[in-house]
């Protein structure tokens, strides 16, 4: 495997930014690609620093793209930059331009943790034609609830900067609204994992119940664990299995 740090200019952000990419060195065909998204307090280096994702990707001969999106909630910020446009439009184009990876839907996946779990499912639900599978680990899945009820100062600051006074409820940034309008037969395969001791456990339960009510298939499991890297390092190999082994 090769691990590459890429510094580049993003037109949608009007900003120089970075991504970390893990690439197989073997095989005659372009490898499948996973977009792996970071959490609120992390950056594009976190997955390779705190887990063995490079080793796990080797076992699956899978390319892994880990972009930097700061504390954007993978959204076009009201007071900031267009991170949703960057993620959903510009980034895949740049990855195809920079690297020899598959561009087929059946070879393309997205996953993330915490804020990145939200970003992964939002991307997959809003652009289901792009992905064969999507997974959330300990996802911050109910952004409308966070906006209305989470009084932690850093969350209040993020919600204000990203969404300003716009109510997320019932918009395309509300995963529960997007689920209501989704066609289950068009969606990628979905996976959710969350620890029972995680402060986001209730949000993940609500998402599981919403999928069940709407008849949307979801591979979900709750197990002992908190909001921490030991849990995510344990479960990211299972995510890769889910994507590549069916």
DSSP string, 154-199: HHHHHHHHHHTT---TTSTT-HHHHHHT--GGGSPEEEEEEETT-T
Residues 6 or more apart whose CB falls under 8 angstroms from that of 180 comprise 214
What pTM, to 2 d.p., does this model score?
0.97
Q: Does domain 2-245 have CATH number 3.40.50.1820?
A: yes
Q: What pLDDT sits at residue 222? A: 98
CA distance 74 to 116: 8
CA distance 92 to 95: 5
Indicate the domain borders of the chain.
Answer: 2-245
For 208-244, the pLDDT digits (tens) are 999 999 999 999 999 999 999 999 999 999 999 999 9
For 45-97, the pLDDT digits (tens) are 999 999 999 999 999 999 999 999 999 999 999 999 999 999 999 999 999 99
């Amino acid at each position: 495997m090769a691990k590459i740090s890429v510094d580049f200019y993003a037109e949608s952000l009007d900003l120089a930014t970075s991504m970390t990419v893990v690439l197989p060195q073997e095989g005659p065909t372009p490898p499948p690609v996973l977009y792996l998204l970071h959490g609120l307090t992390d950056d594009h280096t976190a997955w390779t620093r705190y887990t063995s994702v490079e080793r796990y990707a080797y076992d699956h001969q899978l390319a892994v793209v880990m972009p930097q999106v700061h504390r954007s909630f993978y959204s076009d910020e009201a007071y900031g930059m267009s991170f949703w446009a960057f993620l959903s439009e510009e980034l895949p184009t740049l990855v195809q331009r920079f690297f020899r990876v598959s561009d087929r839907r059946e070879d393309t996946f997205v996953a993330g943790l915490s804020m990145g779990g939200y970003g992964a499912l939002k991307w997959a639900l809003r652009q289901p034609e792009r992905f064969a599978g999507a997974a959330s680990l300990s996802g911050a899945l109910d952004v409308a609830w966070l906006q209305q009820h989470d009084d932690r100062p850093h969350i209040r600051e993020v919600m204000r900067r990203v969404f300003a006074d716009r109510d997320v409820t019932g918009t395309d940034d509300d995963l529960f609204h997007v689920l209501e309008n989704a066609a289950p037969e068009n969606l990628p395969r979905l996976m959710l994992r969350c620890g029972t001791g995680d402060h986001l456990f209730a949000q993940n339960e609500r998402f599981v119940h919403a999928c069940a009510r709407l008849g949307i298939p979801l591979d979900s499991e709750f197990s002992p664990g908190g909001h921490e890297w030991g849990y995510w390092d344990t479960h990211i190999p299972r995510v890769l299995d889910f994507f590549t082994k069916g």
